Amino acid sequence: MKDQVVLIAGASGGIGEACSRLFAEEGAKVVLAARNSAKAETIADEINDAGGEAIALELDVTDQMSVTNMLREVDETYGRIDVLVNAFGLGMIQPLTDAHPDEIKDVLDANVYGTILITQAVIKQMEPQKSGKIIMYPGILGKAVMRHSSIYSASKFAVTGFTKALVEENKRSGIRFSLMFLGGVATDFWENPNVGMKVQKDKMLTPEEVAKATLYACNQQGASVLNELVIQPESHQMV
């Protein structure tokens, strides 16, 4: 990853933060883009103080102007993007009949529309360089469903279908796509009031484990591509 420019959308905590720190340790130039730009700035400062290279930028993935402005700053600073890690999203695990329409829209806007906006814009920058890697996290609920996951699974199945269609569109572009189907990860996802589940975080995947898997996907050599990876906690094996 030495000197590669890695854009991490949703870098202010959880998987995005863990990826930012690990990729910086591997020598990448990391762009931490997040709605919570103050937290992203703190993480970037810590990376730089430790000898890495990172910048933090504000990003609202559901706002096209925000996406455009963020990418302009990345282009002015580094002139390219080698890896996009889409580590953002909103959760909702509750019965469909209990879900408020405005909150349903928020989930779909972030998880689907936001993913489309940022990915579209980055692909336009990657196409001229004939290379790039894009990492998606549809999670295990983008591959299989569970009780009360209707809205969230709808958004994550959309990410899965979107990514697979992009593979067909980009067969000659040099851009490679990886889908990460992760089981429960110990992040603040579970603190969301719209996620009505009691969980044991100590039995879940850690963000650091996910970051290592993400790095592995990005480090595939030659013509190889890690298309899909399923990682489950031991207590939830085999879907």
Lowest mean pLDDT, pick from 65-69, 74-78, 192-196? 192-196
Q: What are phi and psi of 135, to 5 degrees?
A: -110, 125
Q: Domains of the chain by range and CATH?
A: 5-236 (3.40.50.720)
pLDDT for 11-65, tens place per residue? 999 999 999 999 999 999 999 999 999 999 999 999 999 999 999 999 999 999 9
In this prediction, residue 89 has a pLDDT band, given cuts at 50, 70 and 90, of very high
pLDDT for 94-144, tens place per residue? 999 999 999 999 999 999 999 999 999 999 999 999 999 999 999 999 999
Q: What's the pLDDT score for residue 237?
A: 57
Which entry of 78, 113, 137, 152 is annotated as an active-site residue? Answer: 152
In the numeric block, the tokens 């720190």 are attached to 21
Note the helical H segments in the chain: 14-25, 37-49, 64-78, 101-108, 115-126, 150-169, 207-218
Annotated active-site residue 137? The verdict is no
pTM of the model: 0.94
Mean pLDDT of 142-158: 96
Residue of 104, 230, 140, 61 whose CA lies nearest to 69: 61
Q: How far apart are CA 215 and CA 202, in angstroms?
A: 23
Mean pLDDT of 64-81: 97
Q: What's the pLDDT score for residue 236?
A: 67
